[in-house]
């Protein structure tokens, strides 16, 4: 068994960010050495205080189970780690892949939308996904009810590849009703998660999951989304990562597309057919051709001016919950740097939405 992989898996259960993992590697040379020495600094580091022998042993068991169950564990230093994802500002340090890891390296397009859908939205999702699959694109989505499910199923029906990114572990498919679909996805693409094998679908996992959906993809297409849809967070991540954002216009009298229309006003591309997507992809393919070799590949193309502050506020509120969290834990759970979070936390505190407690704990007010 790979000791470094087990040490990383253990850190991953603590939601250690890639930046935190890289700091440990720089200081100690190996993660195994870090587990031996860094816990001694438990008085000055919350992460060190949580690096206990039992957590490391859990990491070893996790690695053994992954091998038994045929789950590929991809650390960020592995050459098979997807290059586009590795180019974003806060990539997962570890990916769990059930299926074909090569699917993560194709021309991926994210197709996202609400769980509550209309006939119009389902038909559009299926039509666009099938057309993309027939042209050799890999359809990436989140295996949720509604639009996600339609997109995965249509890509498979068209004989194409699709990737499902979970907000739970790959051995705990959520929602349970999509287990059979997940098996089909793994057989014709990949089921992926940054969370441990049997991680529960905790609420704050899903905004984090959304950055992986967009990070794997050249572009994100929002098919149908209400004003509070999580698909809008995916679109925000995509714009921040320098990827193209498309949105499908819909009826103005139903509310099903109430989140798509603001995206279009803010600069998202209108999509009515797969040709609209392909027309903008040639430049993106060239831009990100060397994504894995250039950390500066992100942010060079951000055509959509989305409400990033609003999306980040929602991300922070879901991460802290009513129980609260300190800055280090919020950084781990959201992937946002402290300098980005602090002004937003101050705004939330002044607005009476968040309370700052003893020990630097931020929590939502009830």
Q: Quick one: 126 and 207 in the same domain?
A: yes
Q: CA Rg, the chain, in Å?
A: 20
Contact 211/231 with Cβ under 8 angstroms?
no
Q: Using 50, 70 and 90 to split pLDDT, how confident is the model at 298? A: very low
Segments forming the whole domain that contains residue 347: 308-364
Q: Quick one: 180 and 63 in the same domain?
A: no
Residue of 219, 239, 20 whose CA lies nearest to 139: 219
Residue 302 lies in a domain: no
Three-class SS state of 219: strand
Residue of 103, 75, 303, 136 whose CA lies nearest to 216: 103
Chosen domain end from 247, 262, 297: 297
Q: Quick one: 281 and 329 in the same domain?
A: no
Q: Quick one: 143 and 258 in the same domain?
A: yes
Residue 87 lies in a domain: no
Residue 244 lies in a domain: yes
Q: Quick one: 223 and 344 in the same domain?
A: no
Chosen domain end from 270, 297, 324: 297
- Is 54 exposed, middle or buried (CB count within 10 Å of its CB: 0-12, 13-18, 19+)? exposed
Chosen domain end from 26, 49, 68: 68
Q: Quick one: 259 and 332 in the same domain?
A: no
Q: Within 13 A of 143's CA, how many CA atoms are on the CB side? A: 32
Q: How far is CA 291 from its chain centroid? A: 17
Of 64-68, 101-105, 289-293, 347-351, minimum mean pLDDT range: 289-293
Per-residue pLDDT for 308 more than 60?
A: no
Q: Quick one: 197 and 52 in the same domain?
A: no
pTM reported for the whole predicted model: 0.82
Q: Quick one: 33 and 113 in the same domain?
A: no
Q: Quick one: 261 and 330 in the same domain?
A: no
Q: Quick one: 207 and 319 in the same domain?
A: no
Residue 312 lies in a domain: yes
Per-residue pLDDT for 296 more than 80?
A: no
The pLDDT of residue 336 is: 74
The pLDDT of residue 299 is: 41
Residue 180 lies in a domain: yes
Which is higher by pLDDT, 109 or 291?
109
CATH number where 290 lies: 3.40.50.450
Residue 83 lies in a domain: no
Q: Quick one: 62 and 115 in the same domain?
A: no
| pLDDT tens readout for residues 1-53 | 589 999 999 999 998 889 889 999 999 999 999 999 998 888 778 888 899 99
Contact 248/221 with Cβ under 8 angstroms?
yes
CATH number where 333 lies: 1.10.10.10
Contact 122/150 with Cβ under 8 angstroms?
yes
Q: Quick one: 12 and 61 in the same domain?
A: yes
Q: Report how many domains make up the chain.
A: 3
Residue 76 lies in a domain: no
Query: Long-range contacts made by residues 171-178, C-beta under 8 angstroms, separation at least 24?
Result: 171/69, 171/71, 171/197, 171/198, 172/197, 172/198, 172/199, 172/200, 172/201, 173/143, 174/143, 174/201, 175/144, 175/145, 177/145, 178/143, 178/145, 178/149
Three-class SS state of 94: strand
Residue 90 lies in a domain: no
């Amino acid at each position: 068994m790979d000791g470094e992989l087990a040490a990383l898996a253990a850190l991953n259960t603590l939601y250690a960010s890639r930046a935190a993992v890289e700091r440990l590697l720089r200081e100690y040379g190996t993660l195994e050495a870090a587990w031996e020495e860094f816990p001694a600094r438990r008085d000055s580091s919350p992460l060190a205080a949580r690096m206990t022998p039992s957590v490391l042993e859990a990491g070893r068991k996790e690695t053994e189970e992954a091998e038994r169950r045929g789950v590929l564990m991809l650390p960020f230093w592995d050459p098979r780690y997807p290059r586009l994802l590795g180019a974003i500002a806060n990539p997962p340090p570890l990916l769990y892949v059930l299926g074909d890891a090569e699917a993560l390296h194709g021309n991926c397009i994210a197709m996202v939308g609400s769980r509550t859908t209309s006939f119009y939205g389902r038909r559009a999702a299926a039509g666009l996904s099938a057309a993309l699959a027939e042209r050799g694109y890999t359809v990436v989505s989140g295996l949720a009810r509604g639009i996600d499910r339609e997109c995965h199923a249509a890509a498979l029906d068209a004989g194409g590849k699709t990737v499902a990114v979970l907000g739970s572990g790959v051995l705990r498919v959520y929602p349970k009703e999509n287990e059979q679909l997940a098996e089909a996805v793994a057989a014709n693409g990949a089921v992926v998660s940054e969370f441990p094998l049997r991680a529960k679908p905790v609420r704050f996992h899903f905004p984090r999951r959304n950055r992986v959906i967009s990070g794997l993809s050249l572009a994100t297409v929002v098919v149908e989304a209400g004003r509070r849809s999580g698909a809008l967070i995916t679109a925000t991540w995509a714009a921040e990562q320098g990827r193209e954002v498309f949105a499908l216009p819909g009826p103005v009298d139903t509310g099903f597309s109430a989140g798509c229309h603001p995206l279009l006003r803010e600069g998202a591309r209108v999509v009515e057919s797969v040709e609209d997507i392909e027309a903008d992809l040639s430049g993106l393919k060239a831009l990100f051709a060397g994504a894995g070799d250039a950390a500066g590949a992100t942010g060079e193309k951000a055509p959509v001016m989305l409400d990033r502050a609003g999306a980040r506020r929602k991300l922070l509120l879901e991460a802290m919950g009513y129980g609260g969290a300190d800055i280090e834990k919020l950084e781990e759970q959201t992937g946002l740097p402290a300098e980005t979070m602090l002004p937003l936390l101050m705004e939330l505190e002044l607005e009476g939405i968040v309370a700052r407690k003893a020990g630097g704990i931020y929590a939502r007010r009830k």
